[in-house]
A and B are shown apart, each in its own frame.
Chain A
């Protein structure tokens, strides 16, 4: 006899009730992972607009002050200005680390979510591990952000502040949870009669999923091609020029030629800009490509109509292409290209938010279905 719960299990909803139940490890990791990526991207945008350029200007000003102190023969001021440059770079470094770690932990959460059916642990343990992972993944970037502001206040250590200690603790939690998931994966593959629930995520061959997979891989490929071109055409020349410009600065400072020092400083700033846009275009193209490929797996959970799922995929891929291309064009077209690049980033954020809301909608639908399928909650 076919019971209601048996018939539900054989349906799409039944399959998802088993693998994507309320507060299950997969649901926590999918929703938490995308939330981490969104937060990291929005933080990155705010940081780019309000901090990055100002900070770069301060670093440049610090280097210029050091060079002019050398022109005037004041070696103490040189050292003091380089210390200021170090502090500005540390401030910038912690902001970049916050942005990067939040997004990368989000990627890791999505990868772990895909692997959940192969983790041979009880669901209750997987849930705990998912919570530990998400807590650590949130704690580390928040505390890295606070390092610059907390400093060594009330710290019992000579060189490490409380923010660093808690950031390291967050990292430790992420490592522990990831290693535990890896252990579950090994346990699964060592089990002779291993069985997994049917998983729609790996079986999905829908248009949006295929577009994200092939589009994502194409973005990764473009990023690699650009990286290879940059390495072959510009990298070694840029490294040589970096040294030559610094050498010109010190030589002209020693001969008290302030005008020549200023020219070398301006060229040095231009060179750093060129390096930065090339690296940013390469990295963003590959990272957006990887994200598109990860999102391809979760399309069955996006509770939107087919046309809207397709539209958000197109918006996501357009933004993912627009941002790195326009970042590269910043050198030629300046702020206009920069503005279009920011718009590309905004498209990615909006599309990702729409998919996240779609997944939330689907969880609501599943939870309502669960309420009318007797015994489903016990699966």
Chain B
């Protein structure tokens, strides 16, 4: 097993366990509260409108916006970590078919693993701060994933060196 292959498979399994653990924690301790909060703030906003209380309606909808912003990102993070982990494992199993030198393959594997960790992490950090740093981490992570995947796809599609003549 090459170093790139080991990095992808071990990293993928670790990321899958991390993503599932995070999802389990979120489902047990936060998701129901978040969904209740979203539903309740929406109903409160429309009830306040029925009572001609526009200030109350605005306040409730602001709560709705904040709760939904966080909920969407928490669910995205869980889904993306696990999906990226599956991708790392599958690419890792087939990695000896990538027609590049060992060093290029290791660099691509490292880029894919780092991107798979950083992209959802940046999205998760957006729930704590809406500044440029979390967005920057998410953009860097997704750029790493896309660039590494593009390279690996090309490596898979290349004719094996043994049959190239």
Are A78 and B50 in touch, CB under 8 angstroms?
Answer: yes
**Which of A16-24, A147-155, A246-254 is the contact stretch?**
A246-254
Are A111 and B86 in touch, CB under 8 angstroms?
Answer: yes
Are B87 and A79 in touch, CB under 8 angstroms?
Answer: no
Are A247 and B47 in touch, CB under 8 angstroms?
Answer: no
- Interface size class on chain A is 35 or more
Does A213 touch B at the CB level, under 8 Å? Answer: yes
B49 / chain A contacts, CB cutoff of 8 Å: 70, 249-251, 253-254
Q: How far is the CA of A254 from the CA of B57 in the complex (A)?
A: 9
Are B46 and A297 in touch, CB under 8 angstroms?
Answer: no
Are A297 and B93 in touch, CB under 8 angstroms?
Answer: yes
User: Which among B43, B94, B146 is the interface contact of A296 at CB below 8 angstroms?
Assistant: B94
B65 / chain A contacts, CB cutoff of 8 Å: 239, 242-243
Q: How far is the CA of A254 from the CA of B45 in the complex (A)?
A: 10
Does A86 touch B at the CB level, under 8 Å? Answer: yes
Are A247 and B61 in touch, CB under 8 angstroms?
Answer: yes
Are B150 and A221 in touch, CB under 8 angstroms?
Answer: yes
1/0 per position for A197-238, CB-CB distance to B under 8 A? 000001001000010011001101100110110010000000
In the complex, what residue of chain A is closest to B148 when comparing beta carbons? Answer: A221
Are A290 and B86 in touch, CB under 8 angstroms?
Answer: yes
A170 to chain B, nearest CB (A): 16
Are B142 and A221 in touch, CB under 8 angstroms?
Answer: no
A106 to chain B, nearest CB (A): 12
A370 to chain B, nearest CB (A): 27
Are A290 and B87 in touch, CB under 8 angstroms?
Answer: yes
B3 / chain A contacts, CB cutoff of 8 Å: none
Are B46 and A202 in touch, CB under 8 angstroms?
Answer: no
Are A75 and B47 in touch, CB under 8 angstroms?
Answer: yes
Does B157 touch A at the CB level, under 8 Å? Answer: yes
A213 / chain B contacts, CB cutoff of 8 Å: 94, 97, 156
User: Which among B42, B94, B145 is the interface contact of A297 at CB below 8 angstroms?
Assistant: B94
B42 / chain A contacts, CB cutoff of 8 Å: 82, 246
Indicate whether A221 sits within 8 Å of B93 (C-beta atoms), given known contacts A213-B156, A286-B83: no
Q: How many residues on chain B are close to A (CB under 8 Å)?
A: 43
B115 to chain A, nearest CB (A): 10
A188 to chain B, nearest CB (A): 12
Does B136 touch A at the CB level, under 8 Å? Answer: no
A217 / chain B contacts, CB cutoff of 8 Å: 91, 149, 152-153, 156
1/0 per position for B122-137, CB-CB distance to A under 8 A? 0000000000000000
In the complex, what residue of chain A is closest to B48 when comparing beta carbons? Answer: A250
Does B2 touch A at the CB level, under 8 Å? Answer: no
Does B21 touch A at the CB level, under 8 Å? Answer: no
Q: How far is the CA of A75 from the CA of B91 in the complex (A)?
A: 55
A79 / chain B contacts, CB cutoff of 8 Å: 43, 47
Interface centre among B13, B42, B49, B64 (most CB of A within 10 A): B49
Are B86 and A78 in touch, CB under 8 angstroms?
Answer: no
Are A254 and B86 in touch, CB under 8 angstroms?
Answer: no
Q: How far is the CA of A218 from the CA of B157 in the complex (A)?
A: 10
Q: How far is the CA of A213 from the CA of B51 in the complex (A)?
A: 60
User: Which among B61, B91, B156 is the interface contact of A210 at CB below 8 angstroms?
Assistant: B156
Q: Which of A168-202 contact B (CB under 8 A)?
A: 182, 202
1/0 per position for A280-313, CB-CB distance to B under 8 A? 0000001000100110110000000000000000
A254 / chain B contacts, CB cutoff of 8 Å: 48-49, 52-54, 57
A143 to chain B, nearest CB (A): 17
Are B153 and A218 in touch, CB under 8 angstroms?
Answer: yes
Are B97 and A82 in touch, CB under 8 angstroms?
Answer: no
Does A67 touch B at the CB level, under 8 Å? Answer: yes
A39 to chain B, nearest CB (A): 20
User: Which among B50, B53, B90 is the interface contact of A293 at CB below 8 angstroms?
Assistant: B90
Are A246 and B157 in touch, CB under 8 angstroms?
Answer: no
B89 / chain A contacts, CB cutoff of 8 Å: 111
A231 / chain B contacts, CB cutoff of 8 Å: 138, 142
In the complex, what residue of chain B is closest to A202 when comparing beta carbons? Answer: B93
Indicate whether A224 sits within 8 Å of B146 (C-beta atoms), given known contacts A213-B97, A246-B42, A293-B91: yes
B44 to chain A, nearest CB (A): 9
List 6 additional contacts besides A254-B48, A254-B52; criterion CB under 8 Å: A67-B46, A79-B47, A114-B93, A242-B68, A247-B57, A286-B87
**Chain B residues close to A by CB (< 8 Å):** 13, 39, 42-43, 45-54, 57-58, 61, 64-65, 68-69, 72, 83, 86-87, 89-91, 93-94, 96-97, 138, 142, 145-146, 149-150, 152-153, 156-157, 160
**Chain A residues close to B by CB (< 8 Å):** 66-67, 69-70, 72-75, 78-79, 82, 86, 107, 111, 114, 182, 202, 205, 210, 213-214, 217-218, 220-221, 224-225, 227-228, 231, 239, 242-243, 246-247, 249-251, 253-254, 286, 290, 293-294, 296-297
A-B contacts, 13 of them at CB < 8 A, read A69-B46, A111-B90, A202-B96, A205-B97, A217-B91, A221-B149, A221-B150, A224-B145, A227-B142, A239-B65, A239-B69, A249-B46, A254-B52
Closest 4 CB pairs of A and B: A250-B49, A214-B157, A75-B50, A214-B156
